[in-house]
Structure formats: C-alpha cells, structure tokens
Amino acid sequence: MSDKVLYVMYDDDEVLKNSAKKLVAKGVKIAEVFSPFPIHGIDSIIGVKNTRLGIMAFLYGLTGLTLATIGMRFLMITDWPMNIGGKPNFSYLENMLAFVPISFEFTVMCAAHGMAITYLLRNKTLPGMPAQNPDPRTTDDKFVMEIRLSDNQNISEADLDGMLQEIGFFELDKKEIK
Amino acid sequence: MQKEAAIREPLVLGHKTYHDVTQDVCRPIEDKAPKMWYILFGIALVIGLYGVGSIMYLLGTGVGVWGLNKTIGWAWDITNFVWWVGIGHAGTLISAVLLLFRQKWRMAINRSAEAMTIFAVFMAGTFPLIHMGRLWVGYWVMPIPNQFGSLWVNFNSPLLWDVFAISTYLSVSLVFWYIGLIPDFATIRDRAKKPLAKKMYSILSFGWSGRAKHWNRFELVSLVLAGLATPLVFSVHSIVSFDFATSVVPGWHTTIFPPYFVAGAVFSGFAMVQTLLLIMRKAMGLEAYIHTKHVEYMNIVIMVTGSIVGTAYITELFISWYSGVEYESYAFINRATGPYWWAYWSMMTCNVISPQLMWIRRLRRSLLFTFFISIVVNIGMWFERYVIIVTSIHRDYIPAAWSMHFPSHIDIAVYIGTIGLFFVFFLLFARFFPVLALNEIKTILKGSGQSYKESPDYHKHH
C-alpha cells in the first residue's frame, strides 16, 4: 500500500514544539521528530514512551555481579584454594572483602557494556548503517516532523495542509512511499 | 529549556545560532590542517617512535635496561603508570560527575577531556604491560583456564584488582565517549562533501538520524553511564592506591591513600585539561565556547583538590610522628631531609603552594598564569608519585641494602615516548573528531548563550 509522508521543517525547537502541540490537539498523529539535539518535552507531546534501557542496565549489572561472585567463589575457594601468608581461603564469606573491588568493577563493566550494546541494537545504529534522517540539515540546525497520511485516516490531505498553513512552518516536503 | 540567572556569565559568548555552532566546530575538521599541526604532529611522532623503539629494546633485552636495582624494584615504570592514570581521571569526572551535578559548563570541555582520558589510560596501561618483561604472556593476568594445573590468578591481590579496574575504566570511558560522539559524527557526515570523508563519517556515525525516541534513549544512556562511571572514577584510583596501601612498606601502607590518590588524580587531570585546552581553543578558534569562565571553574576544581592533596601530605606527616613507630616516622623524615629532599620539596611547592594562588580571582582568571600553573602541577604530581614510590623503598630495614635510583636512558626514553604518543593521539583526535560536543552545546545555547541572555524576550518574536 502506498503512503504519503509529510516532512514539516522548522528552524527552531521551541516553534516545532508549539506547532506539534497544536497539531496533536487537533487530532493529528505525528509519527516522528528528527532533531540535531534532544528537544525536552517533545516525547510526551508526540507520544514517545520513556525508554526502559535503565531497567536493562540494572539487569546486566546484576548478571555481572552474579558472574563475578560465582567465578571468584569457584576459582579461589573450590578449585584452587590459595594459602597466602598462612591465611587460606576456606569460605567465600571469610574472604569477601578481598573480592569487593572486582565484584564492583565487573558489575559496572557488564552494566555499561550491556546497556550500550542494547542501545545500539534497539536504535539500529551500527557501523556502516545508512543515515535515515529525511534531510541532512536535521543534524545541523533544522527540526523536522514526520506526519504519515496512513496514521491520520480521518483527516484529508487538504485539511492537513490547511492546518499546517495556519500554524506555520519553515519548509514542507511531501514524499510518496511504497 | 532551562532558565539561568541573568547575572551568570554566559557559557557561549558571541551571538551564536545553532548553525554557527556547527560551523565553528566542523570548520577545523573540514579545512586543511594548518602548518603548525603538521609540525607538532611530526615532533610528537618522532618522540613517540623513539619511545616505541625503546620499548622494543626493553622487551628484547629485559627489564634490566631500566635503572632498577635490588632495593628499588619499582621506580619510573610505576611512577609513570600512576601519573598517567591520574591524568586520565579528569575526563570521566568532567563528563560523569559534572553531568550528575548538572554543570552545564562541562559541555564545552567534556569531549576533549574524555579523549585525553582515554589516551592517558592507553599510556598508563603500557607501563604495567612492559613492566612484566615478557609482554607476550601478558594474558596470564586474566583468569583463563590453563594447563598449569588449573592455576588461577590471585583475586586477593590489589594488582589483579588493578587489571580489572583499569580495563573496566578504559572500556567504559571509551563507550561513554563514543556514544556521545555518534550524533556529532552524523552532523559531520551530513555536511561532508568529499566522498571519502562522507564514507568514513558515515561508518563512524552508525547511521544516526536523531529521532525523538533515539534522543530519549540517548539521554537515559548518558545519565546511567554517568551514574556508573562516577563510582568507577573513584574506584580506579582507590584501587591504584591499594597497590601501595596494602603493602607493609613504611610510607606506603597509609590508610588515607585512596581519597588522597583520587584527589591527586583529579588535581593532575584538570591541570592536563587546562594545558591542552588553553592551546586548543586558540588554535581552533573556539574562544567563544571555552572562555575565561570555564578556565576559572576548572581552576577552582584544581584549588579544591590541591588543598585536599596538601591536607593529605600534612596529615600523613603528622600521623607518621604520632603513630610512635620509628620506622614510619623515619620514612617521612627521610623523604623531607634525606637524599631525595629535592624531589619532596619540588612536590610540596608544586602541589601545595601553587594551587593556593588560585584563591586570587585575578590569577585564576588569567589564562597565561593558568597555563603556567597547569604545567607546574603536572610536574608536581609526577614528583608526588616518585617520592611515594622511590623514597619509601630506597632505605629499608638493612642499611647495607640502602640504595639510590638513577634512571637509565631507557627509563627516560620510554617516559618521554609515552608523552609523544599521547600527543600523536590527541593531535589526530583534534584533526578528525569534533572536539566539542556540538549538539550538546546547542541545548544550552538558549539557556546560556550571550545573545539570548542579553535580550530575555529574544525568542518571543518567532
């Protein structure tokens, strides 16, 4: 099914935010916003849910801590209990203090890398991926709203044009996509 | 958008628009490199290669080529290691701790400070590796299953903690830095005209497109990474200090080492940031973004951490006497009045007296003076490590074993070589990477840009 996409460009983040607010109030669904930097407050206007990457970071951290604990317990207590200066490693608990630094470091390492990798995969931003922004200026000083006609079945294209003319914009670009 | 008090000095000077920010940061990358860049790069490369050659010679011959002897088994190698790790503390502190404290001025300096951090930690990592003597078995520091009767590394040892701390710190800093770089690479990609540059920056920018959802994730990832990196910064130098603090050598087994080392690391790291940025802002025409106010803020950090370091020196001295242990007090008396008195007093002058001058407003806002002090502090911090390491072991319990350390020319060449390599990396960074977090700067333009501040109703006419 072919679809028509409107790219509405603005030259200021505040102006885009106000226009988005007005459009959403009129029942227009905005599919996406492209901007050179994070526009604070845009997420709730266009209905972008908060990311759950923080929870993932916590889970990765927990994994790291578990792995470090299991690993050090096996290596230092079970497999080869070292006797250093007449102080043998009898149990994990007795030697816990010596294991704190590495437990911490490994937790942080797993949390940070796990989260970063998930972030890149979820964004689909990986080395060599093609750029997806509609206009190269959106990484400089322009801000673009993407409105899909298929998302707005109950509003005709002419109505939408009228609304946009009334609200104002910097540039308007329409594109057919298959 | 966050409003800021009108009396605060704007963080971005001049009447900059979003586009100006992009232009100012991208211009040095897109233009031809100035002649001075090639000259500096050439010098750094020659020094760096001399260092690499010396390391090859060291690896081929053995650690005996260093000026170590049976009493002083650790000297320049570990001094340089700790010095570089210390320098490597400012970057992540600036980008992580200052992010948590919502210090907007970090945005102008975090990128280059983090780059500096990463390169400094590379240099630091070199020393423990070559100090093993047999670099090719360096992987033995990892707990890898093996054929030696399942012999594992010693998890009770601070040296192994160091392996984990440094590798975590390096890799997490690298990730933090790169995640911030991706949107800025995308800006350069979208401006690039030459096909090769376009291709390269396209690969580097991972196809970033600046969607609202991506920015939402970006901000959270930055915040969580900052939260993770903050305790990491403090843990790394604490663990480096455990290398000494858990030993039984008088002068080393000091319980105040962890906080004292961390403060010292931040102190020296900020000094190095000042040294580099004061030159970089001039050379790359970034005076509007990194100006006197930024320098002043950093000088205040130097002053505070310098005072912590000074307090630690004096506490250490007092406790050595108060402990009533004669060996302990001898270690410190020997430092100040023994054959290494010159190193001790250089350390005291550079690290205790010089940062106190920053109380004077005119001095901490003077760029020339700041540059001078930043060099002094870096020299002082090298001496601090030298004093701690060498003076504590050069006179032990048996006077017959007393000795002095004289660096061999390989000692000096490896050290100078790492400085050369560091500048090779930093100059490459300044040439090809966006040295300012340009997209982050745009977020503070309205809150803290000069033109927006001077006319509070500026954006109402839109």
Position B105 scores a pLDDT of: 85
User: A59 lies in a domain?
Assistant: yes
Indicate whether B453 pLDDT > 70: no
Of chain A, the end-to-end C-alpha distance in Å amounts to 6
**B284 band by pLDDT with thresholds 50, 70 and 90:** confident
Q: How many CB pairs under 8 A join A and B?
A: 207
The answer to whether B221 touches B234, Cβ cutoff 8 Å, is no
Indicate whether B460 pLDDT > 60: no
Position B459 scores a pLDDT of: 47
User: B142 lies in a domain?
Assistant: no
The residue type of B389 is I
User: A147 lies in a domain?
Assistant: yes
Q: Do A131 and B17 touch (CB under 8 A)?
A: no
Regarding whether A30 and A64 lie in a shared domain, the answer is no
Average pLDDT of the residues in B191-209: 87
Q: How far is CA B252 from CA B236, B238, B381, in A?
A: 18, 13, 17
Among A106, A119, A121, the strongest candidate for a mutation testing the B interface, having the largest count of B CBs within 10 A, is: A119
- CATH number of the domain where residue A144 is located: 3.30.70
| Integer Cα distance of B151 and A38 in angstroms | 51
B206 vs A contacts (CB less than 8 Å): 120, 125-129
Position B224 scores a pLDDT of: 92
Strand spans (E) along B51-133: none
| Integer Cα distance of A82 and A98 in angstroms | 13
Q: Do B168 and A40 touch (CB under 8 A)?
A: no
Position B340 scores a pLDDT of: 92
B343 and A CB contact within 8 Å: no
| Integer Cα distance of B267 and B237 in angstroms | 12
Domain final residue pick, A78, A100, A123: A123
Regarding whether A31 and A9 lie in a shared domain, the answer is yes
Beta bridge mates, A8? A145, A172
Regarding whether A45 and A59 lie in a shared domain, the answer is no
pLDDT, tens digit, for every residue of A18-30?
888 888 888 888 8
Residue A27: exposed, middle, or buried by beta-carbon count in 10 A (0-12, 13-18, 19+)? exposed
| Integer Cα distance of A13 and A19 in angstroms | 10
pLDDT, tens digit, for every residue of B67-77?
888 889 888 98
Which residue of A lies nearest to B205 if distances are taken between CA atoms?
Answer: A127
User: B461 lies in a domain?
Assistant: no
Tell me the shortest Cα–Cα distance from B345 to chain A, in angstroms: 34
A36 vs B contacts (CB less than 8 Å): 18, 22, 183, 187, 210, 439, 442
Q: How far is CA A144 from CA A29, A35, B13, B209, in A?
A: 14, 7, 28, 11
Average pLDDT of the residues in B2-24: 78
Indicate whether A118 pLDDT > 90: yes
A101 vs B contacts (CB less than 8 Å): 158, 161, 164-165, 235, 239, 242
A131 vs B contacts (CB less than 8 Å): 186, 189-190, 202, 205, 207-209
| Integer Cα distance of B208 and B1 in angstroms | 24
Regarding whether A89 and A140 lie in a shared domain, the answer is no
**B373 band by pLDDT with thresholds 50, 70 and 90:** very high
Q: What phi and psi, each to the nearest 5 degrees, are found at residue B284? A: -105, 10
| Integer Cα distance of B394 and B75 in angstroms | 10
Q: Do B190 and A39 touch (CB under 8 A)?
A: no
B209 and A CB contact within 8 Å: yes
Average predicted confidence (pLDDT) for chain B:
88
Residue B143's contacts (CB-CB under 8 Å, 6 or more residues apart) are A71, A75, B152, B153, B155
Which residue of B lies nearest to A101 if distances are taken between CA atoms?
Answer: B161
Average pLDDT of the residues in B162-191: 90
| Integer Cα distance of A132 and A143 in angstroms | 14
Domain residues for the domain of A159 are: 3-49+136-177
**B380 band by pLDDT with thresholds 50, 70 and 90:** very high
pLDDT, tens digit, for every residue of B423-448?
999 999 988 898 888 888 888 877 77
> Of the candidates B389, B422, B440, B25, which has an alpha carbon nearest to the alpha carbon of residue B191?
B25
Q: Which residue has the higher pLDDT, A30 or B41?
A: B41
Which residue of A lies nearest to B2 if distances are taken between CA atoms?
Answer: A40
User: B140 lies in a domain?
Assistant: no
**B287 band by pLDDT with thresholds 50, 70 and 90:** confident
Position B211 scores a pLDDT of: 87
Position B55 scores a pLDDT of: 93
**B461 band by pLDDT with thresholds 50, 70 and 90:** very low
Position B456 scores a pLDDT of: 54
SS (H, E, C) B302-344: HHHHHHHHHHHHHHHHHHHHHCCCHHHHHHHHHHHHCCCHHHH
User: B7 lies in a domain?
Assistant: no
Q: Do B168 and A139 touch (CB under 8 A)?
A: no
Regarding whether A12 and A41 lie in a shared domain, the answer is yes
Q: Count CA atoms within 13 Å of residue B430 on its CB side.
A: 26
Q: Do A125 and B182 touch (CB under 8 A)?
A: yes
Q: Do B239 and A101 touch (CB under 8 A)?
A: yes
Tell me the shortest Cα–Cα distance from B448 to chain A, in angstroms: 16
| Integer Cα distance of B340 and B391 in angstroms | 7
pLDDT, tens digit, for every residue of A71-104?
998 888 888 887 777 877 778 888 888 899 999 9
User: B148 lies in a domain?
Assistant: no
Q: Which of B156, B207, B442 lies at the smallest CB-CB distance from A131?
A: B207
**A152 band by pLDDT with thresholds 50, 70 and 90:** confident
The answer to whether A92 touches A73, Cβ cutoff 8 Å, is yes
Average pLDDT of the residues in B2-14: 74
The total number of structural domains that make up chain A: 2
Indicate whether B209 pLDDT > 50: yes
The number of beta carbons lying within 10 Å of the beta carbon of residue A157 is 12
Beta bridge mates, A33? A145
DSSP B96: I
Indicate whether B26 pLDDT > 90: no
Regarding whether A118 and A155 lie in a shared domain, the answer is no
**B43 band by pLDDT with thresholds 50, 70 and 90:** very high
Residue A165: exposed, middle, or buried by beta-carbon count in 10 A (0-12, 13-18, 19+)? exposed
User: B455 lies in a domain?
Assistant: no
| Integer Cα distance of B417 and B397 in angstroms | 35
User: B23 lies in a domain?
Assistant: yes
The total number of structural domains that make up chain B: 1
**B385 band by pLDDT with thresholds 50, 70 and 90:** very high
Q: Which of B19, B143, B235 lies at the smallest CB-CB distance from A105?
A: B235
B39 and A CB contact within 8 Å: no
Position B458 scores a pLDDT of: 46
A15 vs B contacts (CB less than 8 Å): 462
> Can you tell me whether residue A140 is helix, strand or coil?
coil
Regarding whether A81 and A45 lie in a shared domain, the answer is no
> Of the candidates B92, B4, B99, B14, which has an alpha carbon nearest to the alpha carbon of residue B440?
B99
Give, for A99, the enclosing helix (H) or strand (E).
helix A96-123
Position B82 scores a pLDDT of: 92
Q: Do A53 and B221 touch (CB under 8 A)?
A: yes
CA B17 to chain CA mean position, Å:
32
User: B3 lies in a domain?
Assistant: no
Average pLDDT of the residues in B287-307: 90
Average pLDDT of the residues in B147-174: 87
Q: Do A131 and B205 touch (CB under 8 A)?
A: yes
Of chain B, the end-to-end C-alpha distance in Å amounts to 16
Regarding whether A58 and A44 lie in a shared domain, the answer is no
Average predicted confidence (pLDDT) for chain A:
85
Indicate whether B462 pLDDT > 50: no
Q: Which residue has the higher pLDDT, B458 or B338?
A: B338
A81 vs B contacts (CB less than 8 Å): none
Angle of the B367-386 helix axis to the B292-322 helix axis, nearest 10: 30
Regarding whether A60 and A39 lie in a shared domain, the answer is no
Q: Do A116 and B221 touch (CB under 8 A)?
A: yes
B177 and A CB contact within 8 Å: no
Average pLDDT of the residues in B112-134: 90
**A59 band by pLDDT with thresholds 50, 70 and 90:** very high
The answer to whether B85 touches B458, Cβ cutoff 8 Å, is no
Q: Do A102 and B235 touch (CB under 8 A)?
A: no
Position B457 scores a pLDDT of: 55
| Integer Cα distance of B419 and B105 in angstroms | 28
Among A18, A32, A37, the strongest candidate for a mutation testing the B interface, having the largest count of B CBs within 10 A, is: A37
Position B2 scores a pLDDT of: 58
Q: Do A42 and B212 touch (CB under 8 A)?
A: yes
| Number of separate helices (H) and strands (E) present in chain B | 19, 0
Domain residues for the domain of B269 are: 18-135+155-450
Position B178 scores a pLDDT of: 92
Q: Do B152 and A48 touch (CB under 8 A)?
A: no
The number of beta carbons lying within 10 Å of the beta carbon of residue A69 is 17
The answer to whether A34 touches A133, Cβ cutoff 8 Å, is yes
Average pLDDT of the residues in B146-152: 76
